[in-house]
Amino acid sequence: MKIINIKDLNPGMFVVGVIKQTGHIKIKNQGWVKTQKSIDSLKATGVLEVEIDPSKTLHEEAHSDVPPCDMPEAVDSVVNPWHKSTSMDSELTQAAKLYDEAKNLQKKAFKDLQSGSTIDISAFKETAHGLIDSVFRNQDALACIARIREKDTYLLEHSINVSILISIFAKHMGLERSVIEQMTTGALLHDIGKVHIPDTILQKPAQLSIEEFEVMKQHAKYSYDIVMNAQLGKIATEIAGYHHERLDGSGYPFGYEAKDLSQYVRMAAIVDVYDALTAERVYKVGMTPVKAFRLLREETPHHFDTELLNVFINAIGVYPVGTLVKLTSQRVGIVSGSNPDTPLQPIVKVFYHAKHMRYIEVKDIDLANKRVNDGLEAAIKPEEFSLDLLKFFRHSMLP
């Protein structure tokens, strides 16, 4: 396979898929490009780079033998990845149930592997299906749940959160459902290899020593083997084994470089680090999303793919759903809905007043509404006002 710029695409080439784009088109199937008109249609919909199979390139005289379906002419109309078929309130209950089921599945999988039993792969596939369905109905619900988590459940919740975020990411990339399913399943299992890491290292409530970290690095190899043996597919296996690899070769456990890392692995690396940076742990306060984005940007292009990082930020928003924010009115609330056309003006569910230091009536404020005279001041941490977001979420956000 070879990735080329759209301007280098010529009639007779076999296109495997879209790699980089500014729009959100979906390719129905792989196929040969027979005409310049088809190439021009891809350019017009925002395609920048495609993956081709050079071994299938046809010479001009062979075009007549090409199957009648000319791949780029089988492009769906532009898909709006922000489309919501259900409301946030109606999806939250289902999303919370899916999240709890995924958490219980993670617990069972770790227990099974520790006892020498095999894990139920079909259950992981089913869970991935459920998460993806919810994301396609309304990504805000699961995104919100993924942001509000407990400090002492990082090991279980991290993989679930990565799977949710990568499904949102993949949806905004316009990837095929079958690909998203592999990516989400691989993300659910990307840290499963930690079952083979000693508890003294895995559960250590502080940063690891150099020696301990060398042991911890091996979890990616273990994850690779577990997912590969489960025959979940190349994409899922590579996400499980390569998510700590970096474009400049400085990652682990294999030290692979950019040329060895697929688009899917690059996406997983971004999501994995983002969730780790923003997570609350017993020994570490999580960063705000804005600060995490800034740190990730500083690590491009030597560690992370710049273009993919931009798509990820656009996909979950500058102030992702579930982020605690303070408004210029000094009201405090949780971002409860996204406004993609005005990313700095999301919907905020306010419940506290920072100046008066008291709880207030819970209500949604759509900052994009012209009648609303308020705006975002900053993303904040709940510790600043001794707020229990988990308690608020359970009592005030779930229907």
With bands split at pLDDT 50, 70 and 90, how would you rate the model's confidence at 76? very low
220 contact partners, CB below 8 Å, separation of at least 6 = 193, 240, 241, 242, 243, 244, 252, 253
Q: Is the pLDDT reported for residue 38 higher than 90?
A: no
- The residues spanned by each domain of the chain are 2-74, 88-316, 324-397
The predicted pLDDT at position 269 comes to 98
Number of H-type helices and E-type strands within the chain: 13, 9
Peptide bond into 301 cis (omega under 30): yes
316 contact partners, CB below 8 Å, separation of at least 6 = 143, 165, 168, 169, 289
Strand order in the sheet with 14-21: 2-5, 47-52, 14-21, 31-32
Strand order in the sheet with 347-353: 358-366, 347-353, 331-337, 324-327, 376-379
Mean pLDDT for 25-54 is: 76
Helix, strand, coil percentages, rounded to 5, for the chain:
50, 15, 35
Q: CB–CB of 348/327 below 8 Å?
A: yes
> Distance (Å, rounded) from C-alpha 34 to C-alpha 11?
5
> Distance (Å, rounded) from C-alpha 345 to C-alpha 62?
54
What is the percent of the chain with per-residue pLDDT over 70, rounded to a whole number? Answer: 91
> Who wins on pLDDT, 21 or 382?
382
The predicted pLDDT at position 22 comes to 66
> Distance (Å, rounded) from C-alpha 309 to C-alpha 299?
10
The predicted pLDDT at position 145 comes to 93
Let me know the angle formed at the C-alpha of 192 by 191 and 198, rounded to the nearest 5 degrees.
90
Mean pLDDT for 278-303 is: 90
Q: How far is CA 28 from CA 25, 175, 176, 193, in A?
A: 10, 10, 8, 35
The predicted pLDDT at position 12 comes to 86
Q: Please give the CATH number for the structural domain made up of 2-74.
A: 3.90.105
- Give the rounded distance of the alpha carbon of 196 from its chain centre: 26
The predicted pLDDT at position 93 comes to 92
Q: Is the pLDDT reported for residue 177 higher than 80?
A: yes
State pLDDT tens for residues 189-221.
999 999 999 989 988 888 899 999 999 999 999
Q: CB–CB of 334/349 below 8 Å?
A: yes
Mean pLDDT for 343-355 is: 94
The predicted pLDDT at position 325 comes to 95
> Distance (Å, rounded) from C-alpha 186 to C-alpha 197?
19
Phi and psi of 315, rounded to 5°? -70, -40
**Helix (H) or strand (E) segment spanning residue 157:** helix 154-172
Among all chains, which residue has been given the structure tokens 């900053």? Answer: 378
Q: Is the pLDDT reported for residue 79 higher than 60?
A: no
Mean pLDDT for 331-345 is: 91
Q: Is the pLDDT reported for residue 154 higher than 50?
A: yes
DSSP 35-55: -HHHHHHHHHTTEEEEEE-GG
State pLDDT tens for residues 14-37.
888 888 876 555 665 677 888 887
The predicted pLDDT at position 156 comes to 84
Q: Please give the CATH number for the structural domain made up of 88-316.
A: 1.10.3210.10
The predicted pLDDT at position 61 comes to 47
State pLDDT tens for residues 88-141.
989 999 999 999 999 999 999 989 988 888 888 899 999 999 999 999 999 999
Q: Is the pLDDT reported for residue 313 higher than 70?
A: yes
**Whole-number mean pLDDT of the chain?**
88
- Global pTM reads 0.80
